[in-house]
Amino acid sequence: MENLDHILLFITDIKTEDCKTKLQAILDNYDGISKWNIALDDQDFVLRIVSETLNHQQIIELINNQGHFCCELT
């Protein structure tokens, strides 16, 4: 079972499978991300990241640099 302290949640504008696929290469190979997924069927298109080393701001910058909106889900 994953440590809940290592699960980071975000609201995004990643709305389509195509957008998800474009980010897949980056997220799959990003040092520090052990698992990730995007809920395309959720109104907030929630991005869930499992990482023991990264923080919310690092992920927000990563996603924003790819041209997408991303903010911490609180």
- The domain total for the chain is 1
10-63: pLDDT as tens digits: 999 999 999 999 999 999 999 999 999 999 999 999 999 999 999 999 999 999
Boundaries of domain holding 14: 4-72
Sign of the C-alpha dihedral computed for residues 61, 54, 10 and 13 taken in this order? positive
Nearest to 15 by CA among 49, 37, 32, 38: 38
CATH number, domain containing residue 41: 3.30.70.100
CB contact at 8 A, 70 and 45: no
What predicted TM-score, i.e. pTM, was given to this entire model? 0.91
Report CA-CA distances (Å) from 45 to 2, 19, 53, 71: 21, 11, 23, 11
